Structure 1
Amino acid sequence: MTNCMLTAIADLPPRIDTGVQGLNDILSGGLPSGQMYLLEGIPGTGKTTVALQFIRTAIKAGEAALYVTLSESKRELEASARSHGWKNEDLSIAEFIPEEASLSPDQQYTVFHPSEVELAFTIQKLTELIEERKPTRLVIDSLSELRLLAADTMRYRRQLLALKQFFAGRDTTVLLLDDRSAEGSDMQLQSIAHGVFRLDKVPQSYGATRRQIEILKLRGSSFREGFHDYTIETGGVRIYPRLIANEHESTFPTERAKSGIPSLDSMFGGGINRGSSTLLIGPTGVGKSTLAMQFAYAAAKRGDRAIVYAFDEVLRTARERAEDLGLAVGEEIKRGTLSMSQVDPAELSPGEFIWQIKSDVEEKDTRILVIDSLNGFLNAMTGERDLLLQLHELIAFLNQKGVITFIILTQHGLVGNMHTEIDVSYLADTVVLLRYFEAEGEIRQVISVLKQRIGRHERTLREFKFGEGGLEVGGPLKEFRGVLTGIPDSINPALNATTRPE
């Protein structure tokens, strides 16, 4: 490394903890210190909560921090902090409220009452307070109030530039809050700031409001681009960084996971490869969930942790069905080798769901993962393109972690011609087709492995059924042709004559 490069690295400002879970990850380690940043978003996006977390982190580290409010009162801010379970003893809050904005000029919570409604006077009082307190972190909430105090737009921007010059050379990291109440996009305001973060609400026709954060710019620093889901919970804002599979490469032994049913394992050439994804596709009720549960239960009994994410079915029903087939899932759940999680797509954002999976895999060493079903996951997405991109990254991440993933996709229709809302078969390493068919006056089920990228697999059609001893997979259906149409013909004419009406 050259001396110039070493000097450049040494000149980079240190990164500071934002106090917001997930935000440091997006910012490649935190905010470069000693700079001015703009946090913008419409009301209700969590700007104040992020700012309070930013200030509290500094206070916990023993640093001097100051929250300057020009809109909400100190009492309101302290109430907001208490709603998150935070103590207010150490919060340093200063109010700057014009006299006209108050019915009583002698409010006990007001620190300063500017005698003139002028921006310059307010800025002067602000700089005097900063000179006195010398905070390492400062929040100004919000710029919309400064904008109202200014006589015109030009003067407002000039004062902001003067404020930026005031902080130049000082070891103060400034966070400016803006509710985007100005007409149009204030690009000049964004150009003044060292970094710009935007919080947005994503409207939904049903269910909880989705929220996303985007880093619009961060001068001289790398960051994770794109939109990242976040939630406002008791305890603060929590961000779920967009998953990038290439950042999570790992090594694992090559092995095949068995289902415990020899005839089923033989269809996959001895089992399903670790670090691969399997798509189970077929009509409703054909046995997709049961087939995935068979592999999950077998893994749990071996001591490999498995988890089932259920979108479409109540967990109690899924457990009872598994128990009826002889799969003692309750015992494995008690042992901690098997977990079942109910997912409500109306309440859970896609980014939060993917982050849950990532945490489960990395923190609990999960080996088998079932998503039941992709139709439910699709309902949680804002569009088909988003589904494919996020699903691609999720599957790639799981494959690189050595996880065996089962994705269930329900097709429309029951017998004969089938269709799906979206084609994702190209994303999976293995595709398993399940169908109903009619034979000998009964509705029966058939299974076939259509595709497997790694290793050889059977190309036969086998009948399977649910017996008293659990899932049973028979031999190849050599006596029929046209099974996948739903109404097959028997190759044996005598059998055909006895099973078909004249």
Structure 2
Amino acid sequence: MPRHANFQGAHRLPRNIFLTPRLSTDTEVKEPLVPEPIPIEKVQTGIPEFDLILRGGLPRGRIHLLEGAPGTGKTTIALQLLIQARAEGRRGLYITLSENAKELESTAASHGWSLDGVAVFDIVPVEAQLDRQQSVLYPSEVELGETVRLIIDRIEEENPEVLVIDTVSELRLLTQDQLGYRRQILALKQFLQDRRCTTLILDDLTHQYSSTEMHSLAHSVIVLEQSERSYGAARRRLRIAKMRGADYQSGWHDFAITRENVLVFPSLIAEEHQSDFEPTLMESGLPALDELMGGGLTQGTTTMLVGPSGVGKSSIALQYVTAAVRRGDHAAYFSFDENFKTLELRSVALGIDIAESVRRNRLGWRRANPSRLSPGQFVWQVRREVEDHGARIVVIDSLNSYLSTMPEEKALVLQMHELLTYLSNKGVVTILILAQQGIIGDVQNPVDLSFMSDTVVLLRFFEVEGEVRKAISVVKKRTGVHELSIREFRLFPDGMQVGPQLMDFRGVLTGVPEYGGSAEPLLTSQAETG
């Protein structure tokens, strides 16, 4: 035996290992060809914000699963899709196994919609029909295959471009054979794909197998959720759980069903909203206050006004809002704690009339009801003021009430951080008002959000010779130099005044300072001196 035979056998490579030939320095290495992405046609849902989440709408000619417990809004969204198809001149068909045509018409009428021009085919018990104008069958007495055959026949007859099947749970109840059920659904899926029909299948999750079966067969899965609060309106959310071959915005998105339509509030991604702006200073119109602030508030920053209730936080915010409106800027004020009439009376008492600014659309004022408002809806309202009206200053009054819209403090911090980052990227001056617990002495914060603020202004009550006075100081400013002094300020009928530094006091921030100077008032009203 040749000597090299044992040598080769001992070093024989395993079958799944291959030697790569060594390339010479002259060999040209070609980059692998990357195929161009195939553009996907989209079908608009009739809900603009929903289409924004879907990056243009539902992929055309595919099967989409819309699932959620009863009452989450599946039928309403499906009707909106068919009404949009009708408006664009496309044929639509609604096949229902859970409601009859009259019930669907009633649901549409509750939103001010009409189903004229939308074909409806219902398969429900005859006892549920008041007017037998539609085809009527008994699902409990019909085999699953026969029901699917009826659905296919109706689709061939109507030849729809957009189809809704409500609900797949009713189909699942027609058979106890899971394999047979899957075969029938696969046959229906192949039939719909061959016709290039955009199909929305509803699932109310009443059967334990229906959801898992359809997840693997559908191209897209959209999940609806409704959660009840301990007090106030229920919160509705949706998310895209799956969408093959198409881009979409992931995560949960709040939505609401109103009298007229469905409103979806896409979750905010601050990185997608960048803008170039000059970080100029926004003045308040009060020289002493601007001097304390280091010249004013810098655009693209967040200022937090912290202090006990009644110390003047909202009044300072109104001062900046009014100054911005006088310069020709648009301002937005979101109030959780008081109605417009109360705010108007208080502003007039300070020499500020905000009612005229609201009438001229220079000031966007919104009453935010924590018990009815979802966090996503609030963020969307802020975005509309900034993107649609060009707001340069936004006031949120107060964070305490905003906290009550979200039971989880962690979720509040994350959502507020994203909103503040968005406003900063847009060059907006943001003023947050945080009411502390207590009045004088041991004053505490209900939640610490100071780390998200660029400027923190501290306001305090303090007592001197039987009189309650107010002090203001800037304890933090990231974007420039500010005064370290503590000043007195007062609210007079003719406006707000900020006084000189409190030189003769020690312990003002504790609420009970030691005083070594004159007990005369540090500030007097212009009316008193005039």
Same fold, TM exceeding 0.5? yes
Equivalent position of 1:384 in the other structure: 409
2:92 alignment partner AA: A
Instruction: Tell me the SS of whatever aligns to 2:241.
Output: strand
Task: Give yes or no for contact 1:197–1:217 (8 Å, CA) kept in 2.
Answer: yes
C-alpha spacing 1:336/1:107, structure 2 compared with 1 (3 Å): closer
Task: Give yes or no for contact 1:114–1:122 (8 Å, CA) kept in 2.
Answer: no
Equivalent position of 1:261 in the other structure: 286
Equivalent position of 2:244 in the other structure: 219
Q: Match for 1:19 among 39, 42, 46?
A: 46
Q: Percent identity?
A: 44
The worse-fitting range, judged by mean Cα deviation, of 333-342 and 26-35 is: 333-342
Equivalent position of 1:467 in the other structure: 492
1:78 alignment partner AA: E
Equivalent position of 1:44 in the other structure: 71
1:304 alignment partner AA: D
C-alpha spacing 1:29/1:93, structure 2 compared with 1 (3 Å): same
C-alpha spacing 1:184/1:491, structure 2 compared with 1 (3 Å): farther
Q: Is 1:294 paired with 2:319? A: yes
Equivalent position of 2:123 in the other structure: 96
Task: Give yes or no for contact 1:50–1:236 (8 Å, CA) kept in 2.
Answer: no
Q: Distance in 1 between matches of 2:374 and 2:179?
A: 41
Equivalent position of 2:58 in the other structure: 31
Equivalent position of 1:111 in the other structure: 135
Instruction: Tell me the SS of whatever aligns to 2:485.
Output: coil
2:146 alignment partner AA: F
Q: Which runs of structure 2 are paired with 1:240-389 in the superposition (5 Å)?
A: 240-389=265-414
Instruction: Tell me the SS of whatever aligns to 1:123.
Output: helix
Q: Distance in 2 between matches of 1:224 and 1:104?
A: 41
Task: Give yes or no for contact 1:13–1:34 (8 Å, CA) kept in 2.
Answer: no
Q: Distance in 2 between matches of 1:451 and 1:367?
A: 22
Q: Distance in 1 between matches of 2:236 and 2:182?
A: 29
Q: Distance in 1 between matches of 2:380 and 2:513?
A: 45
Q: TM-score, normalised by structure 1?
A: 0.93
Q: Distance in 2 between matches of 1:14 and 1:227?
A: 25
Equivalent position of 1:172 in the other structure: 197
Mind listing any 5+ residue stretches in structure 1 that lack a counterpart?
A: 497-502
Deviations 1:171-199 (A, max 9, x none): 11111001110137832321111111111
Q: Distance in 2 between matches of 1:60 and 1:107?
A: 27
Instruction: Tell me the SS of whatever aligns to 1:48.
Output: helix
C-alpha spacing 1:122/1:495, structure 2 compared with 1 (3 Å): closer
Q: Is 1:237 paired with 2:287? A: no
Equivalent position of 1:499 in the other structure: none
> What is the deviation of 1:107?
5.6
Deviations 1:46-73 (A, max 9, x none): 1111101111111111112111111111
Q: Distance in 2 between matches of 1:374 and 1:264?
A: 23
> What is the deviation of 1:112?
4.4
> What is the deviation of 1:105?
8.8
1:362 alignment partner AA: E
Deviations 1:309-364 (A, max 9, x none): 11111221111111011112233233322232211111111111110110111111
Q: Distance in 2 between matches of 1:338 and 1:36?
A: 46
Equivalent position of 1:120 in the other structure: 145
Instruction: Tell me the SS of whatever aligns to 1:398.
Output: helix
Task: Give yes or no for contact 2:311–2:460 (8 Å, CA) kept in 1.
Answer: yes
Q: Distance in 1 between matches of 2:85 and 2:341?
A: 46
Task: Give yes or no for contact 1:255–1:273 (8 Å, CA) kept in 2.
Answer: yes
Q: Is 1:476 paired with 2:501? A: yes
Deviations 1:20-56 (A, max 9, x none): 2311111112111111111011111111111011111
> What is the deviation of 1:468?
3.2
2:178 alignment partner AA: T
Task: Give yes or no for contact 2:64–2:200 (8 Å, CA) kept in 1.
Answer: yes
CA RMSD, Structure 1 to Structure 2 (Å): 2.0
C-alpha spacing 1:163/1:4, structure 2 compared with 1 (3 Å): farther
2:301 alignment partner AA: S
Q: Is 1:206 paired with 2:231? A: yes
Deviations 1:67-102 (A, max 9, x none): 1111111111112112211222211111123xxx33
Instruction: Tell me the SS of whatever aligns to 2:46.
Output: coil
Q: Is 1:444 paired with 2:469? A: yes
Aligned length: 489
Q: Is 1:425 paired with 2:450? A: yes
Q: Distance in 1 between matches of 2:70 and 2:294?
A: 57
Q: Distance in 2 between matches of 1:109 and 1:293?
A: 62
> What is the deviation of 1:236?
2.4
Task: Give yes or no for contact 2:364–2:385 (8 Å, CA) kept in 1.
Answer: no
Q: Distance in 1 between matches of 2:128 and 2:279?
A: 74
C-alpha spacing 1:189/1:465, structure 2 compared with 1 (3 Å): same
Q: TM-score, normalised by structure 2?
A: 0.88
Q: Distance in 2 between matches of 1:214 and 1:63?
A: 27
Instruction: Tell me the SS of whatever aligns to 2:127.
Output: coil
Equivalent position of 1:162 in the other structure: 187
Q: Is 1:73 paired with 2:100? A: yes
> What is the deviation of 1:456?
0.9
Q: Distance in 1 between matches of 2:479 and 2:133?
A: 69
